[in-house]
């Protein structure tokens, strides 16, 4: 039987420096499919997603995906296990997760679709902001306040905690920080949306939602999917080292979220929720 996949895979490569080449081993970020299934006590079951991911924290990924898409809440989950169904080849056991529900599988329109995504792009359960309004409410302003110094420290703190990235150079990261800039939890994956799902899933399974006084820091750009997942988790502030999309900015402004992009060195752009950032404005 195929062994359980890990976050890294060894490969033989040829490295060329100048005009000289030599062969050596290298660590690659593992990318394998994960199928997420729902089962009910009456035996009903459905596959709701197949995503390409980096193995590790698979149960959190499943829980976070379901939370972010508004399909299933953490309180509806009885257990999450790797699948041992007879129709599943043995070598695929660790690439299939079954989420056992306490009740029937909900009859939601989103479940009529078969989600299929790659590590490059996230799944969006709401096709537009109009659909998102039906299941999410704006985030209260709350007490979260951030200084520029706290913001400037987030990227380095995220990078220092990326253990697998240090080996492969090929993974995205999502980090959850306190209002003081302290790292609370971090997850890595080849897909930045998967990294966020793993982080939200960790919080959901630990009963920590909503994450009202926290900051989400992502290693790539801030997309609509990232903002949607943060909104579903109640995260008021999202920071990214790269650019946000136009729809991500629209979502942040409509739902009362703070969105910071191009957070590098000692500079950044605040696209929404400026009231949470403590910085004097020059006229």
Using CA atoms, how far apart are residues 116 and 50, in angstroms rounded to an integer?
Answer: 5
Using CA atoms, how far apart are residues 219 and 188, in angstroms rounded to an integer?
Answer: 10
Structure confidence at residue 176 (pLDDT): 98
Mind telling me the catalytic residues?
A: 121
Which residue segments constitute the domains of the chain, with CATH numbers given?
32-122 (3.10.20.10), 148-276 (3.40.140.10)
Burial label, 151 (beta-carbon count in 10 A; 0-12, 13-18, 19+): buried
Structure confidence at residue 108 (pLDDT): 58
Question: Known binder of ligand: residue 65?
Answer: no
Question: Known binder of ligand: residue 32?
Answer: no
Is beta strand 258-264 parallel, antiparallel or unpaired with respect to 267-272?
Answer: antiparallel
Taking Cα atoms as reference points, which of 88, 86, 117, 105 lies closest to residue 38?
105
What token pair was written down for 95? 């690439």
Structure confidence at residue 167 (pLDDT): 62
* Main-chain phi, psi angles of 50, to 5 degrees: -130, 115
Q: Encode the chain (283 residues) as per-residue pLDDT tens digits.
A: 456 778 888 888 767 677 776 788 888 778 788 999 999 999 998 888 888 888 999 999 999 999 988 888 878 999 999 987 676 677 677 889 999 999 998 875 544 444 545 444 444 434 457 778 888 889 998 999 999 999 999 999 999 988 765 566 667 899 999 999 999 999 999 888 899 999 999 999 999 999 999 999 999 889 888 999 999 999 999 999 998 988 889 899 999 999 999 999 998 999 999 999 998 877 6
Structure confidence at residue 111 (pLDDT): 47
Question: Known binder of ligand: residue 263?
Answer: yes
Structure confidence at residue 71 (pLDDT): 86
What SS3 class is residue 262?
strand
- CB atoms under 10 Å from CB of 174, counted, come to 29
């Amino acid at each position: 039987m195929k062994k359980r996949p890990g976050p890294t895979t060894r490969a033989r490569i040829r490295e060329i420096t100048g005009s000289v080449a030599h062969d050596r081993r290298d660590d690659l970020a593992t990318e394998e499919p994960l199928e997420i299934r729902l089962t009910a006590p009456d035996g009903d079951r459905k596959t709701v997603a197949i995503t390409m991911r980096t193995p590790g924290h698979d149960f959190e990924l499943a829980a976070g995906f379901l939370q972010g898409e508004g399909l299933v809440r953490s309180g509806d989950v009885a257990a999450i296990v790797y699948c041992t169904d007879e129709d599943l080849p043995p070598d695929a056991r660790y690439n299939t997760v079954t989420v056992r529900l306490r009740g029937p599988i909900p009859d939601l329109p989103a479940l009529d679709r078969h989600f299929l995504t790659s590590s490059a792009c996230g799944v969006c359960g709401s096709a537009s902001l109009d659909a998102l309004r039906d299941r999410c409410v704006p985030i209260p302003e709350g007490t979260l306040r951030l200084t520029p110094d706290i913001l400037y420290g987030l990227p380095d703190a995220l990078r220092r905690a990326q253990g697998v990235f240090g080996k492969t150079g090929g993974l995205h990261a999502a980090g959850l920080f306190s209002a003081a800039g302290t790292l609370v939890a971090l997850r890595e994956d080849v897909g930045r949306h998967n990294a966020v799902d793993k982080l939200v899933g960790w919080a959901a399974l630990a009963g920590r939602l909503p994450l009202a006084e926290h900051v989400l820091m992502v290693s790539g750009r801030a997309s609509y999917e990232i903002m949607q997942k943060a909104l579903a988790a109640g995260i008021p502030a999202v920071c990214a080292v790269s650019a946000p999309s136009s729809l991500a900015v629209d979502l942040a402004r409509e739902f009362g979220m703070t969105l910071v992009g191009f957070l590098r060195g000692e500079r950044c752009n605040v696209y929404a929720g400026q009231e949470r950032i403590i910085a004097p404005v020059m006229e």
